[in-house]
Amino acid sequence: MTELDFTILAIIGRDGPLSAYDIRKVFAQSLTPTWSSSTGSVYPSIGRLEMAGLITASIPEGARSRKALRITPAGRKALEPWLTGITPEIAAATPDPIRTRMFFLMFVQPKRRLEIIKTAIESTEAAIQEAERRRLARPGGDGADLRRIASEGVLFELRARLDWLKWLRAEIAH
């Protein structure tokens, strides 16, 4: 099972019953743009979960023929090893397109490097502002509080990138 499979399973367990469309909306609203809400990623994952007996699907209902997806007891049991299985491999640095681009600054003229870093700083600051705006819009309550905690993780990550970019700017300016 993939990280996406387990994430969809956890979303269904937390918020279900849900339709595949509802799951796609959760991903579309994520502060992390790498989560795909495409039908080409969500529907195959749902199929794998159903075949593994981790979720069940109702008979299609309504004008749009949506199935209500529910987590099974086996699905709930499968979540704990995933949640507790934190290894050095998954704790490693995640891909960051800005960090990757900075690694290849040697391909532009030295005077352009600072301009590129400035753009990266401005874009990261804009991402921080958007994450803060969306964080403030979240309601209270236990489940919502856990979502708020996750959104704080996004802010910590973005602020760390911003600090690193400012450090990089100072290093390049020497």
Q: What is the pLDDT of residues 45-81, one digit of tens each?
A: 999 999 999 999 988 766 777 889 999 999 999 999 9
Alpha-helical segments (H) within 52-141: 73-84, 88-91, 97-103, 110-136
Token digits of residue 12? 């269904």
Those residues whose C-beta lies under 8 Å from the C-beta of residue 79, and which sit 6 or more positions away, are 6, 9, 10, 13
Check residue 145 and give its pLDDT.
Answer: 65
Domain ranges of the chain: 3-90, 93-173
Beta partners for 18? Answer: 69
Q: In the CATH hierarchy, which fold is given to the domain comprising 3-90?
A: Arc Repressor Mutant, subunit A (1.10.10)
Check residue 19 and give its pLDDT.
Answer: 93
pTM exceeds cut of 0.75: yes
Q: How confident is the model at residue 36 (pLDDT cuts 50, 70, 90)?
A: low
Q: What is the pLDDT of residues 70-129, one digit of tens each?
A: 999 999 999 999 999 999 998 998 889 999 999 999 999 998 999 999 999 999 999 999
Average pLDDT, rounded, for the chain: 88
Calpha distance 55→77 (Å, rounded):
12
Token digits of residue 106? 């040697």
Calpha distance 172→174 (Å, rounded):
5
Residue pair 69/17 in contact (Cβ under 8 Å)? The answer is yes
